[in-house]
Amino acid sequence: GENVEQHPSTLSVQEGDSAVIKCTYSDSASNYFPWYKQELGKRPQLIIDIRSNVGEKKDQRIAVTLNKTAKHFSLHITETQPEDSAVYFCAASTGAGNKLTFGGGTRVLVKP
């Protein structure tokens, strides 16, 4: 089955700096890659996603890049703010049953 690895597990950045989280996946048939943000005690919420027919997608301060050849994708947060502090999860899906396989998560701390 699919295996998704996520790095780093923790990330501390100064407010205003950029944060980058990287994920690799094992199944070349995966075609959908969402990113979820989870605040403490809350549910995961989708912040951005990308499909395999696109190499990059941007939404304000958040961007995701996908390298299908290398089987990895990354989340980029620019101009970080304290409210960006949360745990971020990447995931991958082959489409079968729309099942998602999640990475282990990255705890991001933005220091004011």
Partner 1 sequence: NAGVTQTPKFRVLKTGQSMTLLCAQDMNHEYMYWYRQDPGMGLRLIHYSVGEGTTAKGEVPDGYNVSRLKKQNFLLGLESAAPSQTSVYFCASSYAVPSGSSIPGPDTQYFGPGTRLTVL
3-state helix, strand, coil in the chain (%, to 5): 5, 55, 40
| In the complex, least distance from residue 17 CB atom to partner 1, rounded to whole angstroms | 25
- Single out the segment in contact with partner 1 by CB under 8 A; choices: 54-62, 63-71, 75-83, 100-108: 100-108
Select 14 or 40, whichever has its Cβ closest to partner 1. 40
Residue span 28-67 as binding mask against partner 1, x where in contact by CB under 8 A, dash where not = ---xx-x-x-----xxxxx--x------------------
Closest Cα to residue 75, out of 35, 109, 25?
35
| Residues near 95 by beta carbon (within 8 Å), at least 6 away in sequence | 29, 31, 32
Among 66, 93, 108, 110, binds partner 1 (CB under 8 A): 93
Among 74, 77, 103, 110, binds partner 1 (CB under 8 A): 103
Distance CA 21, CA 75 (A): 5
* Cα-based distances in Å from 15 to 32, 68, 89: 30, 31, 21
| In the complex, least distance from residue 89 CB atom to partner 1, rounded to whole angstroms | 6
